[in-house]
Amino acid sequence: MTLKEVKPGATVKVVKISGEGTFKRRIMEMGLTKGIEVFVRKVAPLGDPVEVTVRDYELSLRKADAELVEVE
């Protein structure tokens, strides 16, 4: 399952971050690393962006970026 598919109100754990180079590094610098728990706060009406809470701060991710984060 990807972060894009998670329903609002759910807490999930990051399993893998797909993508390459600068994208992967940027996502990891924002705090999304393997093993971290992520709370999905809300999803915009058209699905973009996805608002999550990571390490006690709020983060908004584009749908395309959230699709590259695998969670369980």
> What is the CATH class of 3-71?
mainly beta
Instruction: Give the model confidence (pLDDT) of 5-28 as tens digits.
Output: 999 999 999 999 988 889 889 988
Q: How far is CA 53 from CA 13, 20, 23, 31, in A?
A: 12, 23, 19, 10
> In this predicted structure, what is the pLDDT of residue 35?
93
Provide mean pLDDT across the span 37-43: 94
pLDDT at 47 exceeding the cut of 80:
no
pLDDT at 50 exceeding the cut of 80:
yes
